[in-house]
Structure 1
Amino acid sequence: MSDTSPLPPVRLASEPELARDALAAPLLSRAARLARWASPATRVDAGGALLPEQLPAAAGELGLSGDDAAASASEAWRMAVDTGLVEITDEEEGTVAAGAELRRLTGGSPHDVLTLWLTALDAVLADASVPDLDGLIDAMDEGGAVDLSALDWDPQAEAEFLDGVLANLYLLTVGESGPGAGPVPLPALAASMIVPSDMGEPTDDILEQVSDAMMRLDDQFRLLEPIGLVVHRPVDEALLEDAESGTDGGGPAASAPGSDDDVDVARYGMVRLTPLGLYGIRARLLEAGHDAPAVGDLADKGADALLDGTAVFPPPAAHAETEQWLA
């Protein structure tokens, strides 16, 4: 995506509405609860993680149970540390206290809440670009160091790929030809990053790459949903079982959407940006130097700026911008 071509304007929810969505995001909400729960008796290890013996109490505070309770509590605690909701007061003793960001989150302005949510989003996106735990363990040498070459993993390329996918999802959401607020099939998102625009019929190799990327995105969107960025329908587990058993006739690529008109595309995973997600991706696009206007940006500008700015807007967006300018 060129950083010089303006993107279609987006209609954002108000800051108070977005702040309420941010506070309701499961991961940030849990992180805040654990920050309030932390006491002088709470202990963390050298990396800031809760000690294993304290995870059951943390999970109980969050009302979590089952096999994944400890892992979910650990994830929420890590978010509390990453966002400054919790501060480590003594690294040697492993003691903690509520951080200054907790006061901003609970008593600050909507803008304060959204600023902290963007920090949380950055942390989750960084996690989503890391290989799965099994891959990390396989690539670990005897000394405990991870051999990145064994993973076939380029951190920068992986982060750029995910950023590109989210930018394309944003464009599909705000563009006139996209589905709007409707969900986008994961194969379509994967293909938007892999299939050359001038390619006619995709080759088997390209289809295999799309299938692999689709599965990677499925895992990543599972991580991004709890922060409130997206609403995600995962890939149907039955498809994975068919691919592993070979009953699909040749793996994921052979059964890719489009090869059978009767295939339910939703089984291959769907995703859409939430209103909070639109806000977050636009903020990241602006930070990266893209021209990503929002309806209302010209409300306090002069008439010349309004005419110039809306000249490239789609008619509905131009009408909405003019209404706000006249209000």
Structure 2
Amino acid sequence: MSSHRSDASAHRRFTARPVSLRPPRELARSALLSPLLGTALRLARWCGPVTRVDVQGLPDLNDTRAAIREFGLWPRHLRREEHHRDLWLRRLASPKQASRFLHPWRTALRLGLVECETAQARPAPDLDRWSGSTDRVLRWWTLSFQECVERSLRGVADVEPDTALSRLYEAPDGARVPLGRMTHEVTTAQEEAYLPVHRPGRNLGRLARGVLQLRDTGAVTVIRDGRPGAGPEEHGPERIWVELTDLGRYGVRQILLARRCPAPLIEDFVRLEADRFLDALATFSPDGQLLALTSWLDTRSPENALREIVAVAAGPGRALRRWNAALALGTVSSRIEPSLRRLLEHPDPTVAGMASVVLLSSHMLSEVEREELSVAFGHWTAIDVFAAATAMGETGLKSFLASEAAEGIDRRLFDDVGRLWNPEHPDTREVLRMLGRHHPDPWVAARARAAQAQAPAS
């Protein structure tokens, strides 16, 4: 059995990419300026010294109308229609009909910004002192963010919050994610998890409304045609971009940590030893891998990075680590070309094969050199690549076999079956078994089974 399979499950867990966060004091300042928490605090102070409330903790209509006027808590469709506001207020039959008042008021109650007893509401005694505490403010904001995530994404958008949030979190800092693409990816993820989904147009509209609500926390910016603040109710959801703010990145990370999902900070990640760095790469998204590679390599000279990586990637049972090592070294290959060429003569085939992969994927070789390396290392490194894919389990292998990266490698593997055993890769037999069982091309699968039958006695 392959030496990788025992730890394959570890590579299937979700690991968030490394991120950089602003200092806590700056994040707290942004939290206080966010619409939801900022309004909740203003309403908490407004209700003093006391305000009469019903059994549900809601003020009467007259007080509700006064708060709406004082803080401008109008429905979004009335933001530019001042002449309709008085009519809307007169028709207001309950505070529950005024969502822009109701949500921050209930947030103030849940966070303890307002105390309710004997049908009266008043500001919490220590409210002013608490609002000056960075830790307290960030705790308030995180709790309100988590509640809004459930209400807006699960409740309104009817999507799994983790899927939507991870799509935004994995995007590079400052990246704008098209809402249409985000909807497609969330829908696809729910289908793969056998969760119910709606029609594409309905999904887009639901997610647009959910994201609009999430914007009130200050966690996301909604952008349309380059204008921040434009929303689906104004333009329709089909041409909207969503960007996670610094505060939003902090909030999503708090959710991940609460669920015991690894969510490293860049300043911690760059100090990882090479083995932990390479193993972590296997679990990142493509965007996350690029950021992780750049951050880790920027703290080392290319030669030092090469020495650290070779030391932990050599030997049997480390094919997946070598896959990621080749990815990392490929970003600095032009600066370590002489060292890579020397490694081609290394007596350990795992080291020489890894160096050949890096050189072959670069643009530094002539056609003659590429052909010579392909002949010398082609079969061994092809097995190493398939062994790395096999290390991610059957799902990972099938995904790799269906990708462009596998095109041609599988067929070239069998142009000279005898070379599969000279020298023999420690995972050759397991790779042939997995290809024989799971390769989508019947010809390749049959050749893999035939090669397995021709294996020399071990």
TM bracket (short chain): 0.5 to 0.7
- Tell me the CA shift for residue 30 of structure 1: 1.0
Corresponding residue SS for 2:232: coil
8 Å contact kept, 2:28–2:138: yes
State which of 111, 126, 136 in structure 2 corresponds to 1:112: 136
- Tell me the CA shift for residue 187 of structure 1: 1.3
Residues 184/97 of structure 1: CA separation in 2 closer, same or farther (3 Å cut): same
Structure 2 Cα separation of the partners of residues 112 and 41 of structure 1: 24
Q: How does 1:276-287 map onto structure 2 within 5 Å?
A: 276-287=247-258
- Tell me the CA shift for residue 78 of structure 1: 1.7
Corresponding residue SS for 1:13: coil
Corresponding residue SS for 2:266: coil
1:182 aligns to 2:161 (yes or no): no
- Tell me the CA shift for residue 192 of structure 1: 0.7
Counterpart of 1:127 in structure 2 is 151
Counterpart of 2:335 in structure 1 is none
Counterpart of 1:167 in structure 2 is 166
For the aligned residues, what is the CA RMSD? Answer: 3.3
Counterpart of 1:316 in structure 2 is 294
Counterpart of 1:254 in structure 2 is none
Q: Which structure exhibits the higher relative contact order, with contacts defined as CA atoms closer than 8 Å and separated by 6 or more residues?
A: 1
Counterpart of 2:188 in structure 1 is 195
In structure 2, give the amino acid aligned to 1:271. V
Corresponding residue SS for 1:279: helix
- Tell me the CA shift for residue 118 of structure 1: 0.5
Counterpart of 1:32 in structure 2 is 41
1:9 aligns to 2:9 (yes or no): no
Counterpart of 2:360 in structure 1 is none
Counterpart of 1:293 in structure 2 is 264
8 Å contact kept, 2:154–2:160: no
Structure 2 Cα separation of the partners of residues 197 and 37 of structure 1: 43
- Tell me the CA shift for residue 237 of structure 1: 4.7
- Tell me the CA shift for residue 227 of structure 1: 0.9
8 Å contact kept, 1:185–1:271: yes
Structure 2 Cα separation of the partners of residues 196 and 131 of structure 1: 18
Residues 238/310 of structure 1: CA separation in 2 closer, same or farther (3 Å cut): closer
Deviation string, structure 1 residues 149-189 (Cα, Å, up to 9, x no partner): xxxxxxxx94x613321122212x24xxxxx4121111111
- Tell me the CA shift for residue 64 of structure 1: 4.6
Structure 2 Cα separation of the partners of residues 114 and 238 of structure 1: 33
8 Å contact kept, 2:51–2:120: yes
Unaligned runs of 5+ in 2: 1-10, 75-81, 90-97, 224-230, 282-288, 301-458
Residues 162/130 of structure 1: CA separation in 2 closer, same or farther (3 Å cut): closer
8 Å contact kept, 2:209–2:232: no
Structure 2 Cα separation of the partners of residues 198 and 98 of structure 1: 46
Q: How many residues align?
A: 250
8 Å contact kept, 2:212–2:232: no
Corresponding residue SS for 1:96: strand
Structure 2 Cα separation of the partners of residues 11 and 131 of structure 1: 30
1:74 aligns to 2:102 (yes or no): yes
Larger radius of gyration: 2
In structure 1, give the amino acid aligned to 2:139. T
8 Å contact kept, 2:49–2:123: no
8 Å contact kept, 2:253–2:263: yes
Deviation string, structure 1 residues 109-140 (Cα, Å, up to 9, x no partner): x22211110111122223215756xxxxxxxx
8 Å contact kept, 1:3–1:291: no
State which of 189, 193, 215 in structure 2 corresponds to 1:225: 215
Counterpart of 1:275 in structure 2 is 246
8 Å contact kept, 1:296–1:321: no
Corresponding residue SS for 1:272: strand
Counterpart of 1:52 in structure 2 is 61
- Bigger Cα displacement from structure 2, 73-82 vs 22-31: 73-82
Structure 2 Cα separation of the partners of residues 196 and 38 of structure 1: 45
Using structure 2 for the length normalisation, give the TM-score. 0.48
Structure 1 Cα separation of the partners of residues 191 and 122 of structure 2: 56
Counterpart of 1:86 in structure 2 is 114
Residues 209/82 of structure 1: CA separation in 2 closer, same or farther (3 Å cut): same
1:102 aligns to 2:127 (yes or no): yes
Deviation string, structure 1 residues 250-271 (Cα, Å, up to 9, x no partner): xxxxxxxxxxxxxxxx853211
